[in-house]
Structure 1
Amino acid sequence: MASGLKLTEFVKRPSLGTKGKRIRVRANFFEVTGIPEANIHHYDVTITPDVPPALNRRVFKRLEELERNNGLGDVRPIFDGRKNIFTAKPLPFGETTTFDINIPEDDGVTSTKRPPRSFKIKIKKVNTINMEELRRFLESKSELTPNCLTAIMALDVLVRHHPSMTYTTVGRSFYTPEGSQALFGGVEVWQGYYQSVRPAPNSMMINIDLSATAFYEGGPLVQMILKLLNRRSADELRRGISDRDRLKLEKSLKKLKIKVTHRGDTVAKRRFKILKITNTPASSTKFDVGDGQTTDVASYFQKTYNMRLNYPFLPCVVIRKENYLPMEVCDVIEGQRHVRKLNERQTADMIKFTCQQPHMRANKIKRGIEILNYRQNPYLQQFGMKVSSEMMVVNARVLPIPTLQYHPSSREASFNPRDGQWNLRDKKVATGATLGSWAVIAFGGERDMGMQAINHFIRELITTCQDTGMNIPTRNPPISYANPHGDIEASIKQAWVRAGNAAKNKPQLILCILPNTGVGLYAEIKRVSDTVIGVATQCVQSKHMFSAKKQYCANVCLKMNVKLGGMNSFILPAEVPFISDKPTILMGADVTHPGPGDTTRPSIAALCASMDSKASRYAASIRYQTGRQEMITDLASMCKELLKTFYQTCGKKPERILFYRDGVSEERKRIEREIVSRELSLSRKLLIHSNLTFICKVMLAQGTSRPTHYHVLLDENAFTPDSLQTLSYNLCYVFARCTRAVSLVPPVYYAHLVCARARFHSRGENWNDTEGTSEESTGSALTFGTVKPELQKVMYFM
C-alpha cells in the first residue's frame, strides 16, 4: 500500500447503479427545505464538575434562565450536552467568559441541610462555520472539508436541542410515555424517536426513525414488588419473603428513585434513592429514637403520622443509614431508564413492541414529526432552518434474484427463490457430510423425556437428513440421560466416550436435548464442547423433540451439515464472478461489548473468512480485549491466522479480498470510522499482495425496511456500483442455517454469531442469574477458553 493512502469519510462513487427493476418508495427522510444562510458560531463549553449529559443540560437550562438578556444577550444557544455550543450570531462577551451557576437538587427542594449544587461554566469561542462551504459541498462543487463536517454536526445538534431539553433523552433518541406498554416485572417500554442530519445531493436530510427502551413503571412501590415477584396481591407475602426473593428485590430496586406519599407537598417532592432493603419486615425493623429508646417502623408510623400500615409484613427500603421507609408510603418516580439486562420474557415482550409492519412504523414516525413540531421550534426559527413534514419519495431498484444451486441429484437442483424464502422440498444439500460417530444426551429425567419420544425424534431427524443429502450410517447412536443442574462437563465427556466406543471412530457430534430455553445449560454445553473437548454439538429443545416436525428437522439438518464440513447451497459462479474468477477471500469482522454499566467483562472481537471458491464455508478467529474498545486491537494477527487457513484449505493465496466491517453505530459513526480507518491501515500492510476492498457497515435504527447501509472506504478491485451491490445482495441468499434471504452479508452475520458464542466460553459466569445487575458482575473472575483446533476450520458456531 502506498504510504500516502488518504481515507475520507465519504468516498466518491464512480457512478450510480442501474441494474434491477426501477420503483418509487417512501423513505423516512425529511428534506431540510431551508438551510441556515448566515454563518454559525461555534463555542467550546466546559462545565465543572464533570457530570453526565442529562445534568449538563439542566445546568445549561439554568444558565439560559438566569443570563438571557444579560450575559447571553438575546441569543438562544444550542447545546450538545457535552462540549459544544452553537449560536446563530456571536455571543456578547467576546472570546471567552465564565459563569457560576447554582441549581437545586433534582427535586427542586433546597434547605440548610441540602444546599444547591454549584457549577462553573466556561465558554470559549472556537470558530465561525462557513455555511456557504457546506452548500458548495452539497452541490458537488467542493470536497468534504472539516468545516463542512462541523456544519453538519451543528445542524444535527440544532434539530436535537429542543427535544433533548424537553424529553427524556438516551443517545440520539428522545422518549415519551405516550403509548408505552407494560413488560413483565414492573418494567415498561417507551416509544422513542431518533433524529440524524445527513448530507444528500443538493440538500440536507433528516432521518427520523423509531427506537424503544425500557423504563421502570411509575406508581406505588408495592405494586412494583408484586410484579417483580410475580404475585397477584400483597396478601400472598404475609408469611414473609424468602432470602432468594429478598435478594432479587434488592438487586432490582437498588438505586431506584422514589418519593414519599405520607407527608406534605414540600417533602413529597423530595426524591430518595433506594440503597437496599431490610432483612426484617416493617413490624420488626427497629431503630434508635433517642434517649436509648428503640421502636419499630410500623409503631413509629402509627405514633408519628397516625398511620396504621396495611403491609407491616413487607420489608422496608433503606434510603440512608438508619433511615427506613415502609414500602407502602413510597412511589416509584416515572421516567427512570431500566439499565439492567432484560430477562427472556421481558425481551420477548420488547420484540413484540418493536416488530411492526412498515405502514405501522411509518404512522408512528409521522406522530414523531407532530411531537417534534419543527415549524414551531424557536431554535430552528432563530437559525433560519426549515424542514418538510412529508416523507421523501425516492427512486429505488429491486435487484435480480440469484440462482441457487443444490446437489445435481435434486429434483429442483437450480432455482430462483420467490419473496426471499424457500424450503428444502425436492432439494438435497450441495455437499452432504457423513455422520458416523455421534451420541445423544437428554438433559432431564426419563419421566420428562421418554425413550420412546427420543427414538421417534432421532428416526425422523435421520430420515430428514438423509433425504436432504447427508449420509448417516450410524442410525442408533448411544442415548444417555443427564442432570441439567449437574456436572455438564462430565456428562458431555461420557457421551463423547460412548460415541467413540460405539462407532469405533473419533466422535463428530453430540446431540443435546434441552428441557427449557434457559441460557445457563446451553452456555455450559457450548463452553465444554468448543473449548474443552473439541466436538460439535447440536442443541434441540424438548418441545420440538416431542413434536418432531419435518420443517424443524430440516432446519436442524442445515446446521448439522455445515458443522460437519458440508455445504448447503451456493450461487451460480456466473452470478458471483468476483469470488469465482480468481482466488478470493471474503472477510467479516464484528465487535460486541458488555452490557450497560458492566466495567469488568471484556469486549469480544471476531473475524470470519470464506474458505472456498463458492464462499460457502467459513472459519473464525476470536480475541478478547479491553471492555468497550471498538477498535480490533489484534486484527492483523487475526487476518494472518485466517489467511494461513485459507492457504491450507485451498492451496493458494487470495488475489482479492472483500472485507466487511461491522460494529459502527450511527450514533458514533464519526469516531468509529476513524477507528475503522486505522484498522484498515493496519490490515492493508498485512494484505499487501492482494487487492483489497474495505466496506464499513452502518446499522441504522430498524426503519421501515431493511436496516443495513454500507460505506466503501477503500476499493482496489475496481468495483462498479452494480457489481458490488449485486454481489452483496446475492450473498444474502447463501446464509447457511436457513432457507431465506437475510438482511446482512454472511461474513458479518457469522462474525456476529461467533462473538455471541465466544461469550459462552467463560468459566465462572452465572448465566442463570437473569435478574443480576451488570454493574455487580463478577467479570473479573472470569476466564475464557480457546476454541479447539479441530473446530476452528469448520462452522461450529452455527
Structure 2
Amino acid sequence: MSTAAPIHLTDVVKRPDVGTAGNKVQVRTNFFEVTNLPTINIHHYDVTISPDVPPPVNRKIFSQFIEKFRVTDLKGVRPVYDGRKNMFSAKSLPFDSKTFEIVLSEDVRPNSKNPTPSFKVKIKKAAEINLEELSRFLKGKSALSNNCLTAIMALDVLIHHEPAMLYQTVGRSFFTPAGSQPLSGGLDVWRGYYQSVRPTSGRMMVNVDVSATAFFQAISLPQMVVKILDLRNTDDLRRSSLNFKKVERVIKGLRIRATHRQLSSKTFKIFGLTNTSAKDTVFNQVVNGKDPNAEPVEVKTNVAAYFKTVYNVALTFPGLPCVIVGRTAMLPLEVCEVVQGQRYHKKLDEKQTADMIKFTCQPPAVRANNIRDGLRILNYDRNDFLKDFGLKVSSEMATIQARILPVPTINYNPASRDPNIRPQFGAWNLIGKKVLRGAKLSSWGVIVFGTEQYVPKAQITAFVRELVVTCNDTGMNIVNKTPPIMYCNPHGDIEAALKDIWTRAGNAVKLKPELIMCILPTTGVPLYAEIKRVTDTVLGISSQCIQTKHTRDAKKQYCANVCLKMNVKLGGINSQLAPKSMPFLEDKPTIFFGADVTHPGPGDTIRPSIACLTASMDGKAARYAAAVRTQTSRQETMADLAEMAEELLRAFFVSNRVKPERILFYRDGVAEGQFAEVMRVEVAALKQAFAKLEAAYKPKLTFVVVQKRHHARFFPMNRDGGDRSGNCLPGTVVDTGITHPFEFDFYLQSHGGLLGTSRPAHYCVLHDENSFKADQLQDISYKLCHLYARCTRTVSMVPPAYYAHLIAARARFHARGENWSDSYSTDTTLSDGPAYARVPKSLTGVMWFM
C-alpha cells in the first residue's frame, strides 16, 4: 500500500520541535482567544467608490450607503467594510453587481478644491470564503492559501468595522481624545487601542494592545501659531519677526472650520499662507451701487477691510497672514479653528518625543489594566456585527506556557578581582573587573564646544583625569594622560575645528591621532550629526561625545560606561561568554551577521534608504565590522547585499585566516508581508557572495528575521514572578500558545525591565541549513544578548541586528549639507538626494559606531 506524500505546508522553516530548556512558568499575554470561529461561508465583495477619496471619507460614504439602502437593496444585511476596497457579509446580497449614488452632506465633503457631494459606490461579488480551510491551517493540515489569507482579513475587518466607524483610526488602531495629554507645538497625545486577528496553533486569537499617537489640538489658528513658535501668548503675535515659514510647514494640509459664519459647518483644507498680512493682502471686490439698475463695480480692498465690511468682524491681528483655502479663497487666521481628530504625520521634536515617552511608558500592571479598558470599549460581547457572523472572543487574557532560560557566565580579564559573573535580573556591574582585552590610547585630543567662561578648563582637566584613571583601572592603557584641550564655537565651522584638534593631538605626541573626545553643550542633533560626519567619513577617526553636564562632577560609574565605548572603538574587547557556553560558535569557524534597512522620514521621497550589514570578526562574537550602502528610497530588500557580504566575509578571513563554515544571519526590520520577498532576494544574494569568494564555498546558512514592531506583551501571573519593574524575568521565551501554527518562530524577552512594559523580540526562521532545534537557537540568541559591548546589561535583541540598526541610523549623519536643526523639515525640493560619504578603511577594524 503506497503512503501519501507529505503535505507541503510552508516555504519557510517548519518548527522542528518545542523547546524544553529552562524553568517552566505561566504568563499572561495580551491575546484573547476566539472561542467561536464562524462556520458560515463569508461573502466577499469588491467596493469601488468614485471619485477617489481617503478611507475616512470612504467610511462616511459607506455609512450613508448602509443607512439609505440597508432595508431596500441590502434586504437587512449588515456588511462590514475596510475603508478601501473590501466588504464582507455573513449573508449573500440579492445582487452580484450594482452601482449606487450617495450625496454627502456639506460638512463632510472631502476637499474644497473638489467639492463634489455626489459619489458612485459600485458593489461587486468577488468570492465566497469557506472557513473550513482556515481551520485546517490552524491545525497544521493545510498551507496558508489565498483563501486562508482572505478569511483572516475578513475576520480582521469584522473586529475593526465598528470602532472604525465610531473613532479616529490609524492602521489597526483606533484613538479617542478621552484622557489625552498636551504635547508642545499645538499637539495632543491620544490613547488608542490596537487589535489584530492572529492565527496560532489550533486557534485564532485577537491581539489587543494600547497605543498612542499625536493629534493636532482643536484650537484657534492664532493659538496654534503661538504654540508652534513657542510664544508666551497671543500678544506676542504682534511681533514683527515671526517664522511663518515654519508655521506653514506645520499647518499645510490641516483641515479647519471658519467661525465667522455661525450657521455653516463647512470645513476647508489649508494649502498655504499668504506672503502678506490680512491688511496688506489686496484683491478686487465686486460691489453693487445704490442704483439697482447700475452695473456692479470692482473696488480694491484688503482682507481685513472686507471682513469688517461684509461680516462686521474687526480683526484683532490684521498683521498676521491669511490661510489659503482654495484657488483664490483666503481666510484670516483668527476666524479659523482646527477641526478635531487630525493626526500629526511629521517627526516629533526632542521635547515632544520625551513627553510622548512619558505618556506611553506604563508599568506592566498599568498596561494590562489599560488593555482591559480597551476591551470594554471594543465590547466584543455586544457587537452586533460579530453576532451576525457568529464570532465570539474571550474577555480574559490568555495564559500561556513560558520558560526562563538559564543565565550564562560572562568572562572578564583574568586579572580582574572577580573575572566571572552571572548576571542578576539581566544586569551586572564593572566593580573589580577589567575588560577582556584593553586597547591602547596614545594620541588623542579633547574639543569643548563652548567657551571657557561657561566650561572652565579646570573642570575639563579634572574630568579627563578621572576618566583616564577609570580607563586604566578598567584595563585600558591610556598612554597620554594629558591630551590637548581646545575650545570652539558650536555654531561655527565644525569641520575646521575638528581638523584643528586632530592636528594638535598628533603634534602633541608625534603620533597619528586615534580618538577625538568632544564635549557637547546640549543633546541636540545638528552638532552631534556634524561631528560624526566629519570624524567618521572625513578624518576616519573614532570620536567620543560627552555632554558638558557630565564633566561637572565626574562620576566613576559614568566614566566606566564611557570606557566600555572607548575600548571597542579602539579595537579592544570588553567581555566574552565563558568557554564552551556556545558550542555552535566554538566547534567550527562561525560568523554572525546582522542586517537592517532604515528609511527616510514620512513624506520624504528624496533621501535614500540606508542598508547596513554587520558581521562578527572573531570566535567570541565580541568584535564586529560593518558595511553600509544607500539604496532606492523605501526599498526594503538589500540591493547590494551580495557585495556587502563578500566584503565582510573577506574581512573575517583576513582576521581569522579561515573561512566561516556556518553562518547565522539575523535580519531586522522585516514585516510578515515581506518575508517571501526578502527571503527570495537576500538568501540568493548571500549564495551569490559565497560563489564569488570561491565556486566550491558553500557554508551552511540560517536566516532569521528579528521583529520588534509587534504588539505581543507578557505579564507575570503574580508579583513574585517578575523583576523589580514588574516585568517578566529576562530569558523568558515563548514558543507555544501564541506562535505560528507550524512555522519556526519564538518570542524572547532577553532584557531586564527598566521603565514601562518590556517588549519581547520575535524571531522567525525563514531558511535553515544548520538544522537548529528550538532549544539550541533560543539559547544562542539569549546568550548573544549578553554581549552588547556598550553596557553591562542584556539587550532586547541580538547584538548583530542591534548594531546594524545603530549603524544604519548613524549613517544618516554621513551626508554633507543636511539641515538637522528643523524637526519639521521634510524638504523634498532638491532634484537629487544628498550625497552620503562612506566610512574609510582605517575604521573597518574597530567598532567606530559605538
TM-score by length of 2: 0.88
Query: Which residue does the alignment assign to 1:179?
Result: 179
2:517 counterpart SS class: strand
Q: Amino acid of the residue matched to residue 768 of structure 1?
A: S
Q: Distance in 1 between matches of 2:464 and 2:251?
A: 46
Please, which of 783, 786, 790 is the counterpart of residue 737 of structure 1?
790
> What is the match of residue 235 of structure 2?
235
Give the whole-Å Cα distance in 1 for the aligned partners of 2:178 and 2:26.
32
Q: How does 1:489-638 map to 2 (within 5 A)?
A: 489-638=495-644
* Paired residue type of 2:677: E
Q: CA deviation at 1:26?
A: 1.1
Residue 259 of structure 1 deviates from its aligned partner by 0.6
Task: Map 1:346-495 onto structure 2 (within 5 A).
Answer: 346-495=352-501
What pairs up with 1:639-654 in 2 under 5 angstroms?
A: 639-654=645-660
Task: Report if aligned partners of 2:598, 2:808 keep a CA contact under 8 Å in 1.
Answer: yes
State the one-letter code of the partner of 2:706: K
| More off after superposition, 12-21 vs 345-354 | 12-21
Inter-CA distance 9–26: structure 2 relative to 1 (3 Å threshold): farther
Q: Which residue of 1 aligns with 2:249?
A: 251
| Partner SS for 1:562 | helix
2:682 is matched with 679
Aligned residue type for 2:217: E
Moved more, 56-65 or 356-365: 56-65
Alignment match of 1:701 (pick from 703, 711, 721): 711
In 2, are the aligned partners of 1:101 and 1:121 still within 8 Å (CA)?
A: no
**DSSP-derived class of the 1:587 partner:** strand
In the alignment, residue 205 of structure 1 is paired with which amino acid?
M
The 3-state SS of whatever aligns with 2:370 is helix
Which residue of structure 2 aligns with residue 691 of structure 1? 700
**Structure 1 residue 755 corresponds to structure 2 residue 764:** no
**3-state DSSP class of the match of 1:63?**
helix
Contact 1:563 1:795 in 2 (8 A): yes
Distance 1:426 1:756 in 2: 34
The gaps in structure 2 that reach 5 residues or longer are 1-7, 287-296, 691-696, 714-756
**C-alpha separation in 2, matches of 1:339 and 1:618:** 36
Q: Distance in 1 between matches of 2:680 and 2:169?
A: 30
Secondary structure class of the residue paired with 1:763 = coil
- For structure 1, the 5+ residue unaligned runs are 1-5
Q: Which amino acid aligns with 1:734?
A: L
- How far does residue 566 in structure 1 lie from its aligned partner after superposition? 0.7
8 Å Cα contact 2:514/2:570 also seen in 1: yes
Comparing 478-487 and 696-705, the one that deviates more: 696-705
1:789 aligns with 2:841: yes
The residue number in structure 2 matching 1:315 is 321
What is the rounded CA distance, in whole Å, between the counterparts of 1:130 and 1:558 in structure 2? Answer: 58
* Residue of structure 1 aligned with 2:662, choices 656, 667, 671: 656
**Counterpart in 2 of 1:26?**
28
1:545-576 CA-partner distances (Å, limit 9, x unpaired): 22322222111111111111111111113221
Amino acid at match of 1:693: T
1:484 counterpart SS class: coil
Render the CA deviation track for 1:512-543: whole Å, top value 9, x for unaligned. 11111111111111111111111111111111
Instruction: Select between 552-561 and 46-55 the one with higher mean Cα deviation.
Output: 46-55
Letter in 2 for 1:118: F
Secondary structure of the structure 2 residue equivalent to 1:230: coil
Tell whether the 8 Å contact from 1:579 to 1:613 is kept in structure 2 after alignment: yes
- The CA deviation at 1:433 is 0.5
Secondary structure of the corresponding residue to residue 614 of structure 1: coil
8 Å Cα contact 2:30-2:712 kept in structure 1? no
**Alpha-carbon distance between aligned partners in 1 of 2:375 and 2:398, rounded to the nearest angstrom:** 13
Asked whether the 8 Å contact 1:630–1:672 carries over to 2, the reply is: no
Q: Could you tell me whether the CA contact under 8 Å between 1:181 and 1:189 is conserved in 2?
A: yes
Whole-Å separation in 2 of the counterparts to 1:684 and 1:355: 43
Q: Percent identity?
A: 55
Between 597-606 and 74-83, the greater mean CA deviation after superposition: 74-83
The equivalences for 1:26-425 within 5 A come to 26-94=28-96, 96-104=97-105, 107=108, 114-119=115-120, 121=122, 123-125=124-126, 127-238=127-238, 240-243=239-242, 245-265=243-263, 267=264, 269-290=265-286, 291-425=297-431
Question: Shift of residue 398 of structure 1?
Answer: 1.1
* Equivalent pair of 1:599/1:775 in contact (CA under 8 Å): no
1:620 and 1:793 in contact (8 A); partners too:
no
Contact 1:7–1:677, Cα closer than 8 Å, also in 2: no
Cα distance in 2, alignment partners of residues 671 and 750 from structure 1 = 22
1:687-744 CA-to-partner distances (Å, cap 9, x unmatched) read: 4611111111222137443231111112221221111111111111111111111111
Q: Cα gap change, 1:306/1:91 in structure 2, threshold over 3 Å: closer, same or farther?
A: same
Shift of 1:142: 3.6
Letter of the 1:724 counterpart: L
Q: Given that residues 604 and 623 in structure 1 are in contact (C-alpha distance below 8 angstroms), is that contact kept between their aligned partners in structure 2? A: yes
Letter in 1 for 2:307: F
Residue identity matched to 1:750: Y
Q: Secondary structure at the match of 1:636?
A: helix
For residue 434 of structure 2, give the secondary structure of its aligned residue in structure 1: coil
TM-score (structure 1 length as normaliser): 0.94
* Secondary structure of the corresponding residue to residue 417 of structure 2: coil
Alpha carbons 2:101, 2:118 under 8 Å: kept: no
1:362 Cα deviation from its structure 2 partner: 0.7
Which residue identity lines up with residue 741 of structure 1 in the other structure? T
- For 1:218 and 1:509, how far apart are their aligned partners in 2? 51
Residues 151-203 of structure 1 deviation map (CA, whole Å, 9 limit, x = unaligned): 22222222122222322111121111111110011111111211111122221
How many residues are aligned here?
Answer: 784
**Equivalent pair of 2:57/2:108 in contact (CA under 8 Å):** no
Paired amino acid for 1:739:
T
8 Å contact from structure 1 (residues 19, 399) kept in 2: yes
Give 1:759's aligned amino acid.
R
| Secondary structure of the structure 2 residue equivalent to 1:783 | coil
Deviation at 1:779, TM superposition (A): 7.7
Aligned-pair CA distance for 1:672: 4.5
- Mark the CA change 1:50 to 1:756 in structure 2 (over 3 Å): closer, same or farther: same
CA contact (8 A) 2:45 2:123 kept: no
